[in-house]
Amino acid sequence: MRKNSFRLVAAASAIALAITGCSSSKNDAANTDSQFEIFTWWASGGEAAGLKAMTDLYQAQNPNTEFINAAVAGGAGVNAKAVLVSRIEAGDAPDSFQAHAGKEVVASYAAQGKLEDLTSLYSSEGWDKVFPADLIKQITLDGKIYSVPVNIHRANVLWWNPGTAAKAGITAAPTTLDEMFTDLDKFKKAGVKTPMVLAGGEGSWAMAHLLDYVLLASMGADKFEGLFTGATSWTGPEVAAAIKNYQRLLSYGDKGKNSYGWGEAGAAITKGTGGFFIMGDWASAQWQNEGSKLGTDYTFAAAPGTVGLYQWLSDTFTLPVGAKHRNAALTWLKLCGSKEGQDAFNPLKGSISARTDSDLTKYDAYLQAAAADWGKDRLVGSTVHGVNADNTFMSAMNAALGKYVTGGAKDNAGLAKDLAAAAAAK
């Protein structure tokens, strides 16, 4: 994805929608459904708090519709996605489910005939003018738009505790991988228990998340994007060098051989027992939900080696084919896409609005900084959170990382081979 392309709002697709005149009959019925079931993996902490802000609004606006929250816990949807597939196969689709913009929506669900076409909502709700055109492209298949983005998260964020850093003599954020290694040595020397905080639990997705960042930091955006077009080989020197950096990073933690989920692992930052943590910006919402303070208990920077790059992902909501409460779901989707809904949800979820007209005064200093970077950085997709590859690739990537970590993080060539096999199977 080229620099700034997401901010080129809508021109082409807005015109296309106007010409096809999809403003619809089918998608504008009033909600008379008695129930509405929504499916996510936002089951606790900051994630559940964000969701609740929006579901509270929904319930206030739809008092006669019973709200059913079918969340399945597990970061990045590792557990939820498996449950979802079996529900869909059993003809028991929820009324709306969470899915990431990019290959996840398009290849894993839309291309499989699992989703209804939502294109008409984009003209009737004016979304063709307020969602970036390139974001809409990421949820479009054969000219039809299949989901509603509710946010933009950033995956490549470095988090640390300013007090712990000061004790180790670290006064500025590292901007390169080399600077990060130097600082990790400083944390080590200062007796910080875990210089590099790693989350090895929850099906290894967080270890894959870290590798996704290290790949980008090590080879740069063009080569990284080439991994998903076939232009960069998974068994070539760039990936080998990245895995070496990754292996070195892991040596500052417990090599990832732990059973911590991202929330549990990240608590080492706010408690002051951890040095650096690389995690998506949902971590900030989680810490605030636990009572920690931005700037005092934790702070942030673009992850080293990726300054000027925004590794993005977007949570979106869908209308599955066969949803039992279709009108209730459409009402939900309209709220998801609205300014009111997004500005209630995102400040608590730790993400920025996917709309170009959000009210930034409602967002904290981290999110305001993220919004500024989103407006100027080069955008690069997240692999682990659905942009670059489908669910099959993600499961295979998680499994490859699980194997690497369990094997003591030694078999670098084996990891590259497993990733190449995952890419070949796409």
The Cα 46–Cα 50 span in angstroms is: 6
| Residue from 293, 280, 308, 310 nearest 162 by CA | 293
Least distance CB 394 / ligand GAL (angstroms): 10
| 55-75: burial string, b at 16+ Cβ within 10 Å, e else | bebbeeebeebeeeebbbebb
Token pair 């930052």 is at which residue?
269
For residues 260 to 299, the per-residue mask of contacts with ligand GAL, x marking binding by CB under 6 A and - elsewhere, is --------------------x-x-----------------
**By the rule CB under 6 A, 102 interacts with ligand GAL:** no
Token pair 């989707």 is at which residue?
333
- Amino acid present at 373: D
**By the rule CB under 6 A, 94 interacts with ligand GAL:** no
Nearer CB in complex with ligand GAL: 216/219: 216
**By the rule CB under 6 A, 315 interacts with ligand GAL:** yes
Least distance CB 156 / ligand GAL (angstroms): 14
Cα-to-chain-centroid distance, residue 92 = 26
Nearer CB in complex with ligand GAL: 168/206: 206
Residue, CB closest to ligand GAL: 75
Q: 281, 318, 385, 394: which one contacts ligand GAL (CB under 6 A)?
A: 385
**By the rule CB under 6 A, 37 interacts with ligand GAL:** no
Least distance CB 76 / ligand GAL (angstroms): 4
Q: Which residues, in sequence order, are CB contacts of 124 under 8 Å at separation 6+?
A: 23, 24, 27, 28
Nearer CB in complex with ligand GAL: 46/304: 46
Nearer CB in complex with ligand GAL: 313/328: 313
Token pair 């998680």 is at which residue?
398
Residue 208: CB atoms within 10 A of its CB come to 26
Binding window for ligand GAL (CB under 6 A); candidates: 20-28, 53-61, 74-82, 413-421? 74-82
Q: What are phi and psi of 315, to 5 degrees?
A: -80, 135
Binding window for ligand GAL (CB under 6 A); candidates: 69-77, 84-92, 217-225, 236-244? 69-77
Least distance CB 292 / ligand GAL (angstroms): 17
Contact status, residue 195 vs residue 254, Cβ threshold 8 Å: no
**By the rule CB under 6 A, 76 interacts with ligand GAL:** yes
**By the rule CB under 6 A, 313 interacts with ligand GAL:** yes
Nearer CB in complex with ligand GAL: 133/155: 155
Nearer CB in complex with ligand GAL: 132/280: 280
Specify the pairing of strand 309-313 against strand 157-160: unpaired
Least distance CB 25 / ligand GAL (angstroms): 33
| CA 414 to each of CA 230, 240, 387: distance values in angstroms, whole numbers, following the listed order | 19, 10, 25
Q: By rule CB under 6 A, what count of residues binds ligand GAL?
A: 13
Least distance CB 388 / ligand GAL (angstroms): 13
Least distance CB 351 / ligand GAL (angstroms): 7
Residues 145-204 within binding reach of ligand GAL (CB under 6 A): 153
Least distance CB 167 / ligand GAL (angstroms): 29
**By the rule CB under 6 A, 213 interacts with ligand GAL:** no
Task: Give the gyration radius of the chain's Cα atoms.
Answer: 21
Strand order across the beta sheet in which 148-149 lies: 66-69, 35-39, 96-100, 315-317, 148-149
The Cα 247–Cα 257 span in angstroms is: 13
Calculate helix-pair angle for 177-189, 237-250, nearest 10 degrees.
20
Binding site for ligand GAL (CB under 6 A): 41-42, 47, 75-77, 100, 153, 280, 282, 313, 315, 385
